[in-house]
A and B are shown apart, each in its own frame.
Chain A
């Protein structure tokens, strides 16, 4: 596979999925191995299939779930889950009908495996090294943590994949981000990716597929790697990838959709070939000093407006957008962020809702109480994560601290279900976007790690987690 010109990991996965090479006149036809679908970005695509009388070409390579517009209010039985709002309820119903009609597996309300699409793909072992994975969702970049080529697509493209299992794509460029050194205590994957976005900017990855490499990446477990790849899109990148290694194989072994027996050995042999060749060329390279990173928080209205949690809000630059962002956030330049009062804390989302994220938050909250007046939601990424967390008693830690323990879903990340942040309220959130109004009309969002979120809940203001560990 690596004979001849040295190739990047991306080059190898790309080449392995070319149905037809690109030419000056036409893009490449790229085959899709795993198509994940959810209720929000698919109804119009199914309508198109129906209008054209087309089947789903490969329902066996398509997997659906319900996550975005679903409620997370705790229920005894899934039968009690009531989707809030007529339009959201209709959307969920349409997803159920579409999957049934077109023969697509839907991990719906009755499934123990329902959850956020980017949590359940890996959890089930459906996400695997060397696969092409797409979904009508920009955070599909998450799956790149397994050495897959995974990227978000629009609804028209969802229709293309449903009908033909293929996409028309121009080959993106490559960007190597090498993270050196070990991290200080209290610095997590979330801080690393926020630090990277702060350094390269929110359009620093536009047109590129990022490969994260270096010992700062290879020492991370799979859940931390998923957090990093998840936010590749926040740097504008098409996708983010991390070469598969023993950590990856260990995670995948024995999962429901992972290969087994002789197939497993064959797959691992193939997966080992997928890392970038030593002399492979990248179009761009960036170096990150991991040992200099600190717990990071955002202060503005995009994920690139980021500072160490103990630093003050930066002085205004000449950009009028900078001033507007601070006005929206009601923050003053030069003022320490750590004095900012917090109304809401959200631990969840496809960035930070996996078991290790919840464990980190629980470690800080154990035997402590969240500050009076703070509302804290802990929303596991999937029903499986919920079950595992409960078996470890984490739900009791959260509830004793005064936080709410919820059913799985996207929840407060994007305010399109019932979980929203009230206008003017400030939320320290482990999600991925601090855009204006993202968590609710007028909501102010500070992105942070689960450690920083938990510490902030205790203090009722943005807090440095290092004193709690």
Chain B
């Protein structure tokens, strides 16, 4: 995983609540056996019209959204299925952080393992971000801060271990593999075996 320490970017807003993983990447694109190339189908059924052309009404397709790496969404983003294709699609498209007032558990966990930063903020900060589309924000992962509106800085909660892995680009599998002795001991000493 690539280390991620700072993000400085404009924001794109999808203010709808409860955006589920079927919207982020519909199931018919999950027959792939690779992690790559899913960005083309990110929000597929919102982004494209029936004839395959881009939906001009969707904010992601507007010129002001191009190059924005921070997506601000309504509450409870990423609910639904456990498909890791959702963060893969967002990252492949170029999104590096998602900001909401609530982010679903499995989506959050999957995001952190791929270098996509899930940020939960308070209602006031969220309200400001929603009302100021395209605003430039500074995210400092090391200090867990989000700076908006000319220096107004808020702290966001992030698990210390997840943060360490993000800023150092640590592969969590390696961490588990280093515990092989403890795992073997557990297997040998437990009171029953599955």
Contacts and interface: CB of A to CB of B under 8 A. Distances in A.
A168 B33 contact: no
Given A154-B106, A155-B84, A437-B45, A34 B194 contact: yes
A171 B79 CA distance: 20
Interface stretch (B55-63, B139-147, B172-180): B172-180
B159 to A, nearest CB: 6
Interface stretch (B5-13, B17-25, B89-97, B148-156): B17-25
Contact of A202 (B32, B79, B114): B79
Contact of A156 (B22, B26, B114): B114
A82 to B, nearest CB: 15
A321 to B, nearest CB: 5
Interface string A128-163: 100100001110000000000000111111011001
Contacts of B177: 163-164
Contact of B45 (A87, A270, A436): A436
Given A91-B31, A438-B27, A168 B161 contact: yes
B173 A153 contact: no
Nearest to A300: B18
A365 B2 CA distance: 57
B163 to A, nearest CB: 10
B28 A44 contact: no
A437 B159 CA distance: 34
B175 A168 contact: yes
Interface of B: 16-18, 20, 22-23, 26-28, 30-35, 45, 74-76, 79-84, 102, 104-106, 109-110, 113-114, 159-161, 164, 172-173, 175-177, 179-180, 182-183, 186-187, 190, 192, 194
List 8 tightest A-B contacts by C-beta distance, closest first.
A33-B194, A43-B33, A154-B110, A154-B84, A152-B82, A416-B27, A87-B31, A138-B82
Given A29-B183, A47-B34, A154-B83, 9 more contacts: A26-B161, A27-B161, A43-B34, A138-B106, A168-B172, A321-B74, A433-B20, A435-B22, A435-B23
Interface of A: 16, 19-20, 24-27, 29, 31, 33-34, 40-41, 43-44, 47-48, 52, 61, 68-69, 85, 87-88, 90-91, 94, 128, 131, 136-138, 152-157, 159-160, 163-166, 168, 170, 202-203, 206-207, 233, 236, 238, 266-267, 270, 302, 319-321, 324, 414-416, 433, 435-438, 441
